[in-house]
Structure 1
Amino acid sequence: MNCQELDLGKTILVTGASSSGKSEFAEMLATKTNKSVIYLATAKVDPSDREWQAKIIKHQQRRPKDWQTLAACEELPLCIEQAAESECLLIDSLGTWIANFLELDQIDWKKRCDRLLNSIQNTQAHIILVGEETGWGIVPAYPLGRLFRDRLGYLSRQVGNVVDTTYLVAGGHVLNLSVLGEPLSNYKI
């Protein structure tokens, strides 16, 4: 696959490990849509976290100046629902969005996920979602870490089932999982 062969389906999930280049790849895809790009930041800003602030600044400096940035910490589905066909929403990231709701019980969490999935399936806009991969290594030592890992895995799987294209960025390479693999939902017991 080269740049000319990229699948620019209407809805795209770009997943990968921390610092794998997934956000950079998603940004490149957004520029290829030739639409007005709106960057939806899902993380809550914590001015006391210098490391996080540095990462945010690095991302901001890399993005084109004409992109609009909106905070979508809690109302991500609403932002998606209100987007126009002429827009490309770059949502970065599912993991930070999930972190905003770890205190929710399972029923309320599922309702939030269902609303997000419904908004993705029914939007008029082009959407590129960035999602982290967790669970490929050590089991988190604390219950909250395991809850985050499990919720992110669940949501990534659900999003991967509804988007047109899923990419994995790993080891300095981009893999189109929609071409190389089959949805797990195709396999029934």
Structure 2
Amino acid sequence: MIGENERGTILVTGPARSGKSEWAERLAHASGRPVIYVATAREDPEDADWTARIAAHRQRRPARWSTLCAPTELESAIATAGAGDVCLLIDSLGTWVANLIELDEATWRARCERLLNVLEQRPAAPVILVAEETGWGVIPAYPIGRLFRDRLGGLVRRLGPRCSSTYLVAGGHALDLRRLGVPIDR
């Protein structure tokens, strides 16, 4: 479990409805630092289910946490938010990828590089990233679904080795992959 001395980037990944966000929130709270929740979702008043999901996330967070909306400019948000000893909780990379799905491949790669660079240059306070695991089921029947799965999966794979901690949340349990896993050579 994260303590007040833990620093660096922490990745929390897992399938839908596994408890990823709740685990990330618990880690952020345990950091003992002020928290800025970086939301990548775009609100859509026409989508009642989406609105309810966003509201549920808001209700779980302590009132003292700040919220920063960054549906597309995540790199800038990380670079500028909470200079100093602030914990950033970014929820989620999957939504950020979906918001940028129409970028051409070269632009997408450049955005990923910028994200990785800004994470490496961030001061020592923790950055907790929530990411959905894709590809555990049927291969999407549509090109855009395959593109989303490939982009998010590739980004998470690149992030994992760079993180000080990586957790897989499944079935309501968090597994410390740094402690239990074996890194894959690239």
Q: 1:89 to 1:4 in 2, by over 3 A?
A: closer
Measured in 2, the distance between the counterparts of 1:151 and 1:4 equals 28
Matching of residue 39 in structure 1 with residue 37 in structure 2: yes
Q: 1:27 to 1:4 in 2, by over 3 A?
A: closer
| Aligned match of 1:73 | 71
Report sequence identity in percent: 55
Q: 1:4 to 1:55 in 2, by over 3 A?
A: closer
Q: 1:4 to 1:23 in 2, by over 3 A?
A: closer
The range that moved more, 108-117 or 74-83, is 74-83
Query: Could you tell me the TM-score, scaled by structure 2's length?
Result: 0.94
For structure 1, the residue ranges without an aligned partner over 5 or more in a row are: none
Measured in 2, the distance between the counterparts of 1:71 and 1:164 equals 25
Measured in 2, the distance between the counterparts of 1:118 and 1:55 equals 31
- Displacement of 1:6 after TM fit? 11
SS in 1 for 2:109: helix
What root-mean-square deviation, in Å, do the aligned CA atoms of Structure 1 and Structure 2 show?
1.7
| Aligned match of 2:60 | 62
For structure 2, the residue ranges without an aligned partner over 5 or more in a row are: none
| Aligned match of 1:143 | 143
| Aligned match of 1:15 | 13
Q: Is the 8 A contact 1:41 1:70 kept in 2?
A: yes
SS in 1 for 2:25: helix
Structure 2 residue identity aligned to 1:89: L
Measured in 1, the distance between the counterparts of 2:136 and 2:8 equals 29
| Aligned match of 1:97 | 96
Measured in 2, the distance between the counterparts of 1:136 and 1:117 equals 25
